[in-house]
Homo-oligomer: A and B are copies of this chain.
Amino acid sequence: MKVAFQGETGAYSEEAVFALSPDSTPIPCTTFEQVFIAVRDATVDCGVIPIENSLHGSVHENYDLLQEFSLVISGEVQLRIRHHLLGLPGSSPDEIRQIYSHPQALGQCRSFLRTHFPEAELVPSYDTAGAAKMIAERGRLDAAAIASVRAADEYRLIVHAESIESNHNNYTRFLWLSLPETTAVRAVPAGSAPRQTEQAEQPGTGTTSGVKTSIVYAQHENVPGSLFKSLAVFALRDIDLLKIESRPLVGSPGKYLFYLDLGGSIEDESVKNALRHLEEVAASVKVLGSYLSGRQIN
């Protein structure tokens, strides 16, 4: 199975591809849009995109692409982002003069770098895996990269230091994208298969346990209580809300998009009724997919 992701080979998104489907062939893409295009045009079987990070928030660009393209979310995984200091085999930490990585990764490892490499020059790169690739290709014994353990494997680098990020609560949630005809059940990656046995009606709520549904909706106008009304459609049916985020529509003061994840499947009667009710009170509703709640990978 070919799975598109954004970034270089060895990127954290590629780790997410293997976490979701260990036997797949990851296909690197330069942009998120290219991932969506590859799935839409069926040049790949699926795509994997980051949708939110515990430190850096939601990736609005991918929410926009989810609305623009008619793909469905068919799975998810929460991946802990571990930054490692990588160097050439035979290199020594004492000889490191330059450290390459994405500015965000350099920032997340600032306290480690200040303590252990106060003299090293920190050089920003496009991405973490690209920094590792450069060290390997140029045979730079005097430089190191901050990247994933997968990048170390891919570019045959050694790990000078592990998990050097200051905040270990750094998780990225990745989504698995498919064409709409691929059903959620078919697209559930092999790694998550055991969870399928957990799919059962939750007592009392009438929603399928272990499954969530992501939607985006817009409101007509920002009147007091309108958000409350739109959430009532779920509360009245005992449907759990797992994520809510308002996003102001630039150029339309007082208008918002809402991102919502709710407990249950689009196939559940109560979820169907709630969404029908939501359509009465919202300006637009788009269902992005129903899928098994993702494992957290540490």
Contacts and interface: CB of A to CB of B under 8 A. Distances in A.
A185 B115 CA distance: 42
A54 B248 contact: yes
Given A55-B60, A60-B54, A103-B102, A224 B240 contact: yes
A263 B234 CA distance: 24
Interface in A261-289: 263
B57 A56 contact: yes
A110 interface: yes
Nearest to A244: B246
Query: How many chain copies does the complex carry?
Result: 2
A251 interface: yes
A148 to B, nearest CB: 17
Given A60-B57, A225-B235, A231-B231, A126 B103 contact: yes
A246 B58 CA distance: 11
Interface residues of A, number: 49
Given A60-B54, A245-B246, A232 B224 contact: no
A124 B106 CA distance: 13
A57 B57 contact: yes
Nearest to A237: B224
Interface of A: 31, 52, 54-61, 102-103, 106-107, 110, 122, 124-127, 169, 171, 205, 222-225, 227-228, 231-232, 234-235, 238-248, 250-251, 253, 263, 296
Given A106-B126, A224-B240, A244-B244, 13 more contacts: A56-B56, A56-B59, A56-B60, A57-B60, A103-B124, A124-B126, A169-B251, A222-B240, A224-B235, A225-B238, A228-B231, A231-B231, A244-B246
